[in-house]
Structure 1
Amino acid sequence: MKWIGFALLVLIAAGLAYIRLAPSDVARWHDLPDGISDQTLESGAMRRVRGDLAALDAIIRDTPRTTVLAGSVEDGMVTYVTRSRVFGFPDYTTVRQAGERLEIYGRLRFGASDLGVNAARIDGWLRRLDQAG
């Protein structure tokens, strides 16, 4: 019985390590689907709003546990990784400057539902952007 418990503990630890250490495929995550519109999805959220990428970039970089995966303001598109506090689940948010508008797509990597976390995060960033402007 002790071996089963130990084996289960090792499997859980290996799964958590994979979540935190798995490499991110830039070709997969640094991309936007066609037709970004304002919608909340089961696995993420999309927003299309007026705004400036440089201003939003500063706000996003100030977010705890968030790093840049690829791109830059100069490129006109940036993808960020934000990890959950306890288990380190990664969420990917790609932001592109399209004329006077920002196209934003936040989505989870693991699981089927993000429980509204990406929509709440993006909407919080946009509120800060409105307050700054």
Structure 2
Amino acid sequence: MGRLMMLLWVLVAVVVVLLGYIRLAPSDPVVWHAMPEGISEDRDRSNGVVRVIEAGPDTLSRLDAIILSTPRTKPLAGTVEEGMVTYVTRSAVMGFPDYTTVRREGDSLVIHGRARFGRSDLGVNRERVEGWIDALQAG
């Protein structure tokens, strides 16, 4: 019984450390405030999504307001004025960070959402990005 309790406490400690790392790991703008080169069309990836939409002069600022109204979402780097902004959105329970970079390219916006941890985001980024696009088009 003593060994089982010790194993249980070690397991709990490992889980707490992992959750702490997920919540507290720094988000380096040099790493995450970037856009893949050569993207000109929509792409679904296992841990993220890319969407390209037509944009008018105020589309980025309108999308920025929509994104910032999303719960647990904060800007990481860039500004609307610079033409590229990266946001961090954390999951409600576990605090997993997802990064979304939006860049203005001529008459288009390229939106790249991706998960930091894991090989699959289970479609979370696609759903979030498409929700933002729907809200943008509705407004």
- Aligned pairs for 1:73-84 (under 5 A) are 73-84=80-91
What is the root-mean-square deviation in Å for CA atoms of aligned residues? 0.7
Equivalenced residues, count: 132
Cα distance in 1 between the residues matched to 2:42 and 2:84: 18
Cα displacement string for residues 16-73 of structure 1 (whole angstroms, at most 9, x for unaligned residues): 0100000011111000011222011111000110121101000000000000000010
Q: Secondary structure at the match of 2:125?
A: helix
Cα distance in 2 between the residues matched to 1:103 and 1:90: 20
- Aligned pairs for 1:63-82 (under 5 A) are 63-82=70-89
1:42 correspondence with 2:49: no
Cα distance in 2 between the residues matched to 1:59 and 1:50: 17
Report sequence identity in percent: 53
Given residue 110 of structure 1, which amino acid in structure 2 is its aligned partner?
A: F
Cα distance in 1 between the residues matched to 2:92 and 2:44: 22
Cα distance in 1 between the residues matched to 2:32 and 2:124: 18
Report what 1:10 is aligned to: 13
Which of residues 83, 90, 95 is equivalent to 1:88? 95
Tell me which structure has the larger Cα radius of gyration. Answer: 2
Given residue 27 of structure 1, which amino acid in structure 2 is its aligned partner?
A: V
Report what 2:131 is aligned to: 124
Question: Which stretches in structure 2 are left out of the alignment for 5+ residues?
Answer: none
1:112 correspondence with 2:116: no
Question: Which stretches in structure 1 are left out of the alignment for 5+ residues?
Answer: none
1:102 correspondence with 2:106: no
Q: Which runs of 4+ in 1 moved over 4 A?
A: none
Cα distance in 1 between the residues matched to 2:45 and 2:36: 13
